[in-house]
Structure 1
Amino acid sequence: MQPWTLVGVLSLLLAVPDALAVKSHDFKTCSQAGFCRRGRALSARAAETKAWKSPYSVDVSSIAITPDKAVFTAGVHSSLYPDIHFGLELRVHEDGVVRVRLDEVNGLRKRYDEAASWALIAEPKISQDITWTAGKKDIRAKYGNNEVVVAFEPLTVSLLRGGKPQVVLNGRGLLHMEHFRNKKVEETKTEEAAPAPEEGAEDAAEQVVLQAEAEPEVNPRAWFEGETEDDWWEERFSTWTDSKPKGPESLSIDISFPSHGTIYGIPQHATRLALPTTAGDSPTFTDPYRLYNADVFEYLASSPMSLYGSIPVLHAHSADSTVGIFHAVGSETWIDVSHASDKSTETHWISESGILDLFLMPGPTPADIFAQYSRLTGTPVLPPHWSLGYHQCRWNYISSEDIRTVQKRFDEEDMPVDVFWLDIEYADEHKYFMWDEKNFPDPVEMTNDVAANGRKMVVIVDPHLKRTSNYPAFQEASDRKVLVKQPNGEGEYEGWCWSGSSSWIDFFDPNSWDWWKGLFKTTALKSGWSWTSSTTDIHIWNDMNEPSVFNGPEISMPRDNIHYGGWEHRDVHNINGMLFSNLSSKAVQERTDPPQRPFVLTRSFFAGSQRFGAMWTGDNLGTWEHMAVGVQMVLANGIAGMSFAGSDVGGFFGNPEPEMLIRWYQVGIFNPFLRAHAHIDTKRREPFLLEQPYKGIVKDLLRLRYTMLPVWYTAFRETSVTGVPVLRPHYVVFPKDPKGFAVDDQYFIGASGILVKPITTKGATETTVYLAEDEVYYDYFSHHVYRGAAKGKEISVKAELHQVPVFVRGGSIVPTRERPRRSSPLMKLDPFTLRVALSKAGSARGELYLDDGVTYSHEKGQFVWREFTAQTAKKTVRITTKDLGAEKKEEAVDGVALASYNPTNVYAETIKDVRVEKIVVEGLSGKPASVKVEGGKELVWEYAPGIAAGGKGEGVAGVLTIKDPKVLVVKDWTIVIQL
């Protein structure tokens, strides 16, 4: 192993060339990972062998069904290894999700089976309405229009709807759970004849070889597992050797979708939303998609390589239905994707360790899949309102005065911003929680200066702790024995990161939890150290939590390191980063009494991370390609639950020219998470440094973001309840439109009806936008009417540098706040504008959700939730509002929140005087004769003639502007427009 020093590491990482490219040799391909190589080899042999039949079958005599008919269990054996036993368990949840578990029974060792316990929010409730029917070849569980079939020999599990297969497990016979074995006892291939097969292996030979053409000496086990012990007991990569004391333990399973030709999910990868192929004829990528959280410096803009997070959830879609799977496995996993036809998809999942723990989600709609997955792993958190504003960051703001100067410049230019960030250089020798007193002598006063303008700060806290006795966080962790151990399980693991010689907290150890939360307290503790030089206006950025280790294999931690419970790092690698952000989120939440909503940004994540905060797409490059793929990555992460996502505006690396930077801000303001960030070697590029007209364009864009904060917050509220992502790809909104299944460069914001098509190509002055339906769409800025078609239609729109294509779907009502402020908290009593975009039928609908944006009082019914509708009948348009909280209370869609809702709640009282100051109605059929609040006097209004929503042709819509109708947000009212 090469020698490492902190200076050498920093020199390496800071030597960023102008032409950036990922260092591919730092990361494995499938052919360099023994278990992936073995899994793919098995797949190739099976594909070449027509007589291939899986050796796994159900022991019919062992089948058992619990008295409540809720759980099916059975023994499973492999004909190649009659002495090795497996246990199959199948249960159907109340919502129709099917959980399939397979584990080795009474093996030499225990397989890691705790991944689901970290991902799930609770043990799912089991259906009590299942009817099991046993036959000679299979057993079936029927419920509603769905059916689960467990075939005995070979073992397959199929989910059917209406008798039609939707998901099939082991249909291609690639199931293989490498059982535990003793190294010295296990047979090895020699020049001598192969040993006689064990009892039962003669039958297996007929299953795994070309029967007529097989040579008599063929050993079926060798055919199945390979001729040699291929990296079973240790594996070398570059200069590192991975000891494997447990031997081979990988899990391979093929999962087919016979009725679905498009798949989405398994983030995080820099690739198209509809996943390209990796196997079969002419694959897009030659390697499978890899899930292995990694610090991929300067990642490629199109690749199946693993990145910072891993969520093993996948949607399979067709015009008829959507189904999904979630595989609760925390180890490295590779997934091959191929298509037998344009109407079916085959996948092959190969994991290094763990059990089979699959959740089959039957849908049948995208919304159903999001609900089913959310009931398993939780919905995205409702973030603090201020965190939806603009975040300004770079590596690094160098001092307290630097922060004050940046804030001053934003105010001088009248540009809104909510959060200033500090990267690693704020900390003394990168000892997180401890300020560099030379450059940050007054951290509390600095933070208070920022907070005086309604703003917050976010500072970085990485998981590596500098190994020095004068660093309380490290010393206390060492004393408490909560650090990750070396492979022998004895001493503390030592690696290199920004702090130099470092150790890592083992958050799998419950003994670390309360201690870690105590570090964030802003007051002194009776026992232990706490961050007293902080304030509750400081929130947290968790970076490097894959974990990133500069001198480790693949820039990460050795797989044979030991975590709590004796588990190897290989077993839990993809879960590791989630626990760090989880505990940081709880720490920030619990530092106040009563708790306040935390903001924690994480780079590494797993299934369930959506419960704790936001993520970003990592160290992207300042290129057009990275801008474009960033949009696709944010959409993909939303599919897997991580809705609070964004890409660094401007790109982390490089110095984008003004055109690129403008376009990146246009992308950023329509990301759920909006942050500008830059590498230490880049030029300063805060938006106030731009020359005109670029500075003015960015200022207008930032103001647009703040104007639309009611739209964003309402969308986040819905996502926090339903799990449907904040940014909705085309297939989610129009699931029956095949033309849009691959569309991933435009999207809707929640249920607002706002359609966005960011520009991500250099020199563009126009673009095409796909409209999927026979409905009107209004240009957000010009009120121009565009008309779609029943079978879909592309329209051409102008997209000069100052223009971003944004449309309001006919039938939508969009609430905004139009008064510019320096930060979002200063807007809390501002009036609203309602944009009523009439549909062809003359109707519209929208929602507005508000709460205090900071506390958890909304969970106790302290909120305002309004519905706005417009209806046209007999030359009269009626715009009405009502209290959705009161109407939905009996439905209890929010559980406790709605059950305890009262229209005159404390929060509603704080905004009781907030009014609607303007209503804009698009698409009227003509000039009104009168406009009144029902039961009131004539209002002040003006009308600009134009195209009617229900008419023909395109052009500027007829627009009615009602000025200050003096109606209140918290009250019911109706405005009557007489035509």
Structure 2
Amino acid sequence: MKFVAAIFCAVVLFTGIITVDRNNFKTCEQSSFCRRCRKVEHNNSPFELVPATLNTYSDSITADLVNKNNGHLFVLKVEGVQGDVFRVTIDEKTPLRTRYRVTDALKGPVKPDVIKVTESKTELTVTCGQNKAVIHASPFKIDFYRNEVLFVSANAKGLFKFEHYRTKPEKSEAPAEGEENKETEVPKDDVDNEPGAWEEDFKSHHDSKPNGPEAVALDFTFPQAGVLFGIPEHADSFALKSTLGSEPYRLFNLDVFEFELDNGMALYGSVPVLYGHGTKGTAGVFWMNAAETWVDIYNRNSQKNVLSSIVNMVAGSDNEPLAAHFMSESGIVDAFILLGENPQNTFKQYTDLTGVAPLPQQAALAFHQCRWNYNDEKDVMSVSENFDVHDIPMDTIWLDIEYTDDKKYFTWDSRTFPHPLEMIGNLTARGRHLTIIIDPHIKATNSYYVHNDCVDRNYYTKNKDGNDYDGWCWPGASSYPDLFNPVVRKYLADQYLLENFKTTTNDVFIWNDMNEPSVFNGPEVTMPKDNIHNTEMGTYEHRVVHNLYAHMQTMSTFDGLLRRGENRYRPFILTRGHFSGTQRYAAIWTGDNMAEWTHLQASVKMCLTQAVSGFSFCGSDVGGFFKNPNAELLERWHQAGAFQPFFRAHAHIDTKRREPWLFPENTKLVIRDAIRKRYTYLPFWYVMFYEHERFGYPVMRPLLSHYPHDPETFAIDNQYLLADRLLVHPVAQEGATNVDVYFPRHSATGDGDLWYDIDDYTMIDSVGYVTVPVNSYKIPVFQRGGTIMPKRERVRRASTLMKNDPYTLIVCLDRSQEANGTLYADDEQSYDYRVGKYVYAQIKFTKNVLSSKIIDPSATFDTLAWIERVVIAGLDKAPQSATLKTSSKRITLDVIKNERSYTIRKPAVNIAEEWEIVLNY
């Protein structure tokens, strides 16, 4: 039966003949813990603080909580965390066994902050800087204030639930005759006799649940919020919708075949951070739990759209605040309360905890070409050569699973790829890279050394009976390494070392896929929850760590690639499964999408949500993975991808080949134009990712990030900002001849910024919606007035060949005739920048002087790159000439008037120098 199920799943995946089968995935009602948590009575919490148990420390307090219904005790801990953050943990006081605590999501130990504690008869106040947490004793509730304004309340709805560990009750005796229908009175929190408490079936799968019911849940309200957003990954709107009367949002890493749009079904990743934003400020909650989690969203206008809710919030109507109810199957309550005041600060608080995407190699930010699969070495080289023939830049070509020897990773098919090192060398000689896929499932055959090692060394995940777990995936019979064991992670990391994987080089990038983990014949196409892992903290069921499995694989891969390059080269990894903190190791994409306009539109929404949740390095399969896009959709998707962080074309094995030159000439030219435009902006992408690592702010940002007082921006998810410099509105409607672009205001009634069309510097000086005409080449992108953009306008076949090419500076002035920007450069592939080998310059225009000043004078970097051109838009009057001043020279430069801008040609100053250009009138 396993074989039949696996073959059926494989056939479905290969043919693409059906869409997602909802019956393969649970609803909340079919998940017993979700059902129980959702049934908790509102505003009737049985939990109380026990004041006599209070312990006060320099950075935290602890106290007991009691469940009045059964007398069970828990320990509450409230900590002050540096950066205006509170941490709340709740665990059993004397559990039958230690409950799992997530640690790997955090980038390092949490930095404590000093607190002050004051008490009254009914409440306890913990003050940390300008913030405070007011703990109410009965019923238990915590209110979190910033500057005396209430931003978050925990358990305000009274939905806190903590199912303590217990021994399994013996089966009760049959009722006496005549008493079959007599109701037995049980405590309100008694779940022992509820269906699914001690064992649960779903379809043909049985979950043994040896530990019984162990769910934890807590609600959070956001009194100042007009919109809630976050908790990716879902193919839904940026603004979270009310779940009243529908399914909660689900966080449970799953391989969902041909996923649907506009719902909260689980997808490949789970990032349990949620934000509430309103005109008075922003707050967030990071629910650090790796078990299956459902999140209910309570919206004051559940029957109305998000915009109606925002309007009512601004108008002061309807006093019920927005709220979220987190419900997890296991673990403890471990929540960080983010009180960042504004969106950017709050996003940074989260990345301060979980980390940022490290600065990638420049090549990773360029264009990637992929499909399942390029057939052989000749095919790979033909594709590479044709990009050159048609003058289309491309940095990386990708190989899917068919390159391997019978789906055995770390091997090559000797028939189709007999000379991998030669192939890799040929690509490298052209300035290009190769990416290969490595999935976590291991083909269970005695002819495979990795399988033999894992069996001999006891490295596989175990089933509930203690035997090696056997499932089905691409190789057929497969087993799954226990990635929670650090010894196993090191073993897999070692396989990437050049002495082991001898047919690769340091120029090969890695793609980790199917790592949710995907198990074709498993429950919900994944691993059984009662499987067993050996973690650093002890032995735990898969149910408590499920959402971390992919995270552990990327940790292992990153370690292997880092050591492969002797800690010199920056690894590039793409992963499908992910959790909070995975951004420290890998980029992500939105998974197996479809060649449909709605999926193009969804790519913006999904990557926006990921960006504010730590994952700045996000993109989608350009063109759609399943089905065949028509020419217009392919053109528009390349244009959209050119302005998203990760830019890769990819397609299913059964789709028609899509290389640009296979389409009519006009389509090829449109795609070529979009890709080349991406390459001109690579210096901007590079500085954005450097500043992301340095400062922690997202690269791709919702409009509310910089226009937090404009309610219209709260729900907009069809356009976005890149840093605070570009506004992007992809054309995502079939047959569009114009798009309505929203230009935001700084307050509900205030002015906006000046914006300049990047193609011709047309200035837009208005707020609200503006209809922008588009032709087949047009990508509506606007540079904000007051910013300076670095570009490179000499496009070569690969970004690695542009390293020493000159820069163009695009200066767009604000109403005060000023502008600021930055420029960053290093060797584009190593970690030498972390030891001061880089140049980082502040470029400023004020009082008719454009200047460049080195931000970190102690950093040095030898570069041949220079400033070739300066374009200034928005000048009030025409300069006659310009004077370049450096420490060693003074030169007069010509100023050329264009239709809407002025160009200063060939200042010819090295980017590592300090200089100024004075406009002469």
| Structure 1 letter corresponding to 2:470 | E
2:753 is aligned with 1:778: no
Residue-by-residue CA offset, 1:626-659 (whole Å, 9 max, x unaligned): 1101110001001110110100000000110000
| Residue identity matched to 1:124 | V
Q: Name the structure 2 match of 1:563.
A: 533
* Partner-residue secondary structure (3-state), 2:127: strand
Distance in 1 separating the partners of 2:100 and 2:649: 40
Equivalent residues of 1:278, 1:288 under 8 A apart:
yes
Among residues 600, 604, 607, which one is paired with 1:627 in the alignment?
600
CA distance in 2 between partners of 1:188 and 1:656 (Å): 64
What is the distance in 1 between the residues matched to 2:287 and 2:775?
A: 45
Picking from 94, 110, 120, the partner of 2:98 is 110
1:407: which partner in 2? 384
Please tell me whether the aligned partners of residues 374 and 722 of structure 1 are also in contact (alpha carbons under 8 angstroms): no
Q: Secondary structure at the match of 1:57?
A: strand
Alignment pair present for 1:329 and 2:329: no
In the TM superposition, residue 188 of structure 1 has moved relative to its aligned partner by 9.8
The residue correspondences of 1:185-334 to structure 2 (distance < 5 A) are 185=170, 219=185, 221-222=187-188, 224=189, 228-279=193-244, 286-334=246-294
Match of 1:968 in 2: 910
- Which residue of the partner structure matches residue 318 of structure 2? none
- What is the CA-CA distance between 1:191 and the residue it aligns to? 8.6
User: 123, 127, 141: which one pairs with 1:156?
Assistant: 141
Q: Measure, in 2, the Cα distance between the counterparts of 1:368 and 1:435.
A: 47
How much does 1:941 deviate? 2.6
**Residue 255 of structure 2 contacts residue 514 of structure 2 at CA under 8 Å; is this kept in 1?**
yes
In structure 1, the partner of 2:316 is none
- Structure 2 counterpart of 1:118, one-letter code: D
- Indicate the residue corresponding to 1:78 in structure 2: 67
Aligned positions of 1:749-788 closer than 5 A: 749-751=722-724, 753-773=725-745, 774-788=752-766
Match of 1:368 in 2: 345
Distance verdict in 2 for CA 1:509–1:977, change over 3 Å = same
Deviation at 1:185, TM superposition (A): 4.8
Cα separation, 2, equivalents of 1:323 and 1:186: 48
Q: Secondary structure at the match of 1:969?
A: coil
* Contact in 2 for aligned 1:257/1:345 (Cα 8 Å): yes
C-alpha separation in 2, matches of 1:644 and 1:621 = 21
Matched, 1:97 2:85: yes
1:921 aligns with 2:872: yes
Matched, 1:497 2:497: no
Identical pairs, percent: 39
Which residues in structure 2 correspond to 1:385-784 (within 5 Å)?
385-488=362-465, 490-523=466-499, 530-564=500-534, 565-751=538-724, 753-773=725-745, 774-784=752-762
Asked if the contact 2:6–2:521 (Cα under 8 Å) also holds between the matched residues in 1, the reply is no
Secondary structure of 1:482's aligned partner: coil
Do the aligned residues in 1 keep the contact of 2:879 with 2:895 (CA within 8 Å)?
no
Read off the aligned partner of 1:435 and give its amino acid letter: W
RMSD value, Cα: 1.9
- The CA distance in 1 between the partners of 2:176 and 2:610, in whole Å, is 51
Deviates more, 1:296-305 or 1:961-970: 961-970
Aligned-pair distance for 1:972?
Answer: 1.2
Residue deviations 1:415-452, cap 9 Å, x none?
10000000000001100111000000001101111110
| Deviation, structure 1 residue 230 | 2.3
Q: Is the 8 A contact 1:621 1:654 kept in 2?
A: yes
Q: Given that residues 269 and 576 in structure 2 are in contact (C-alpha distance below 8 angstroms), is that contact kept between their aligned partners in structure 1?
A: yes
Tell me by how many angstroms 1:730 deviates. 0.3
Give the Å deviation of 1:930: 2.4
**Residue of structure 2 equivalent to 1:60:** 51
1:40 aligns with 2:17: no
Q: Please give the secondary structure, in 1, of the residue aligned with 2:579.
A: coil
Q: Deviations along 1:252-277, whole A, 9 cap, x unmatched?
A: 21111122121111000001111111
Question: Cα 1:191–1:543, aligned 2, differ >3 Å: closer, same or farther?
Answer: farther
Q: Distance in 1 between matches of 2:177 and 2:275?
A: 49
Distance of aligned partners of 1:191 and 1:357 in 2 relative to their CA distance in 1, 3 Å threshold:
farther
Q: 1:608 to 1:802 in 2, by over 3 A?
A: same
**Aligned partner (choices 153, 172, 185) of residue 157 of structure 2:** 172
Give 1:218 deviation, angstroms: 8.7
CA distance in 2, matches of 1:433, 1:844: 51
Counterpart of 1:141 (choices 119, 126, 129) is 126
Length-normalised TM-score, structure 2: 0.94
CA distance in 2, matches of 1:379, 1:226: 41
Write the distance in 1 (CA, Å) between the matches of 2:362 and 2:121: 59
Asked whether the 8 Å contact 2:48–2:139 carries over to 1, the reply is yes
The counterpart of 1:125, out of the listed 106, 111, 117, is 111
User: Aligned equivalents of 1:402 and 1:155: distance in 2?
Assistant: 65
Q: How far apart in 1 are the matches of 2:570 and 2:172?
A: 58
TM-superposed CA distance for 1:926, in Å, is 2.8
Q: Say which SS state the counterpart of residue 880 (structure 1) adopts.
A: strand
Distance in 1 separating the partners of 2:706 and 2:351: 18
User: Which range is displaced more, 720-729 or 816-825?
Assistant: 720-729
Residue 512 of structure 1, CA deviation: 1.0
Map Cα deviations across residues 348-400 of structure 1 (whole Å, 9 max, x no partner). 11110010001101111122212211221112211111100100000000101
Corresponding residue for residue 769 of structure 2 = 794
CA contact (8 A) 1:5 1:500 kept: no
In structure 2, relative to structure 1, the CA distance for the partners of 1:661 and 1:840 (3 Å cut) is: same
Kindly indicate whether residue 894 of structure 2 is the aligned counterpart of residue 940 of structure 1. yes
d(CA) in 1 for partners of 2:178, 2:533: 43
8 Å CA contact retained: 1:189, 1:228: no
Q: Do the aligned partners of 1:26 and 1:554 also contact (CA within 8 Å) in 2?
A: yes
What's the TM-score, normalizing by structure 1? 0.89
State the alpha-carbon separation in 2 of the partners of residues 839 and 329 from structure 1.
45
Paired with 2:186 and 2:609, the residues of 1 have a C-alpha distance of 41
* Residues 1:219 and 1:172: Cα distance change in structure 2 (over 3 Å): farther
- Aligned-partner residue type, residue 249 of structure 1: E
SS in structure 2 opposite 1:563?
strand
Distance (whole Å) between structure 2 residues aligned to residue 328 and residue 193 of structure 1: 50
Cα distance change of structure 1 residues 153 and 924 upon mapping to structure 2, 3 Å threshold:
same
1:345 is matched with 322
Number of residue pairs the alignment of both structures matches: 891
Residue 322 of structure 1: how far off its partner (Å):
0.6
Distance 1:542 1:189 in 2: 53
AA aligned to 1:940 is D
Deviation at 1:611, TM superposition (A): 0.3
Whether the 8 Å contact between 1:395 and 1:424 is mirrored in structure 2 is: yes
Work out the CA distance in 2 between the residues paired with 1:186 and 1:148.
45
Distance in 1 (CA, whole Å) between partners of 2:172 and 2:50 is 26
- Measured after TM superposition, the shift of residue 190 of structure 1 is 6.6
Q: 1:217 to 1:272 in 2, by over 3 A?
A: same
Which letter maps to 2:639? Answer: Q
Query: In the superposition, relative to structure 1, how do residues 219 and 256 fare at CA in structure 2: closer, same or farther (>3 Å)?
Result: farther
AA at the equivalent of 2:53: S
Residue deviations 1:900-956 (CA, integer Å, cap 9, x gap): x33xx2xx22x1x321111111112232222222473431231135xxxxxxxxxxx
Is 1:879 the equivalent of 2:864? no
Q: Distance in 1 between matches of 2:602 and 2:698?
A: 18
